[in-house]
């Protein structure tokens, strides 16, 4: 099965934020009162952005940036959400595989088995958000965009587009086979360069093994607030390739040792209880 993806064309985005609303409605992510720790308190940050950040209830956020070009000020709109990376740091560090790649290439997660360890904050895009225990203040569960593949709410399995894509009035968001969207994204960037946008950039084609949310930009990625060369943190690589295997090995040896200890102790007990065997 071909990987699926979303193509976001920043030059067509009007920041209507219909995608934010549609995401919340489909995934039943109701906002919470500001006093609760799970949400983001509504404050004036000097920007038209609303809410101020991602949260367990906000999986998509439209960002606003002002830039000046040739004496004119203009807004740049961007879509902030899970990038569904092929080389995903969150998948690498999850100790019990609650975060994984599904058959469409998206990064899914099983909230029932999430331990709230918080390791997936290794994400180079700073996406995962956590519900917190009101008594202890520690992480309990992770939430993020699922590309509309949440069990029971899986639009993709029913042949539908993600809710954000369906709601976009300007076709700034498109959904389909990743290979086809890569071709379209490259063509749109080439067209932008012909029109004079010399810094136009196609983001997500190769980054982190290929993202499943890709961007057509008329400026460099960093101008839009995206890392130009995102990388999986070294600690995440060490966790997957060294620390976690060592942990399993040590745990396995511990269990084997306990098992052997039980067997030896049991045999000694049986020997002592044999008829004619006297205690020394």
Instruction: Give the Cα separation of 224 and 78 in Å (integer).
Output: 7
> What 3-state DSSP class applies to 179?
helix
185: left (phi over 0), alpha (psi -120 to 50) or beta: alpha
Q: Dump pLDDT digits (tens) for 111-154.
A: 889 988 888 888 999 999 987 665 555 667 889 999 999 989 99
Kindly tell me the sign of the dihedral angle through the C-alpha atoms of 218, 223, 229, 233: negative
Kindly tell me the sign of the dihedral angle through the C-alpha atoms of 150, 153, 158, 160: negative
Q: Calculate ∠ Cα 13-16-22, nearest 5°.
A: 105
Q: Is the pTM of this model over 0.85?
A: no
Q: Dump pLDDT digits (tens) for 164-213.
A: 999 999 999 999 999 999 999 999 999 999 999 999 999 999 999 999 99
């Amino acid at each position: 099965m071909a990987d699926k993806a979303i193509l976001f064309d920043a030059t067509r985005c009007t920041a209507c934020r219909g995608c934010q609303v549609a995401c919340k409605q489909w995934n039943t992510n109701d906002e919470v009162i500001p006093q609760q720790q799970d949400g983001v308190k509504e404050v004036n940050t000097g920007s038209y952005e609303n809410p101020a950040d991602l949260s367990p209830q906000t999986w998509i956020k439209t960002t606003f940036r002002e830039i000046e070009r040739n004496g004119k000020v203009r807004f740049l709109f961007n879509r902030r959400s899970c990038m569904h990376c092929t080389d995903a740091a969150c998948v690498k560090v999850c100790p019990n595989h609650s975060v994984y790649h599904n058959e469409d290439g998206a990064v899914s997660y099983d909230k029932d088995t999430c331990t709230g360890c918080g390791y997936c904050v290794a994400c180079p895009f700073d996406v995962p958000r956590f519900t917190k225990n009101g008594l202890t203040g520690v992480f309990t569960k992770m939430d993020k965009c699922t590309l509309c593949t949440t069990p029971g709410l899986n639009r993709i399995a029913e042949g539908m587009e993600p809710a954000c894509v369906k709601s976009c009035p300007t076709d700034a968001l498109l959904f389909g086979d990743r290979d086809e969207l890569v071709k379209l994204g490259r063509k749109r960037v080439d067209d932008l360069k012909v029109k004079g946008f010399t810094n136009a950039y196609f983001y997500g084609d190769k980054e982190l093994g290929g993202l499943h949310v890709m961007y057509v930009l008329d400026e460099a990625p960093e101008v839009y607030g995206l890392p130009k060369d995102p990388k999986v943190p070294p600690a995440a690589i060490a966790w997957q390739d060294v620390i976690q295997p060592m942990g399993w090995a040590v745990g396995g040896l511990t269990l084997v040792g306990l098992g052997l200890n039980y067997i030896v102790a049991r045999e000694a007990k049986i020997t002592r209880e044999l008829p004619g065997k006297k205690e020394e």
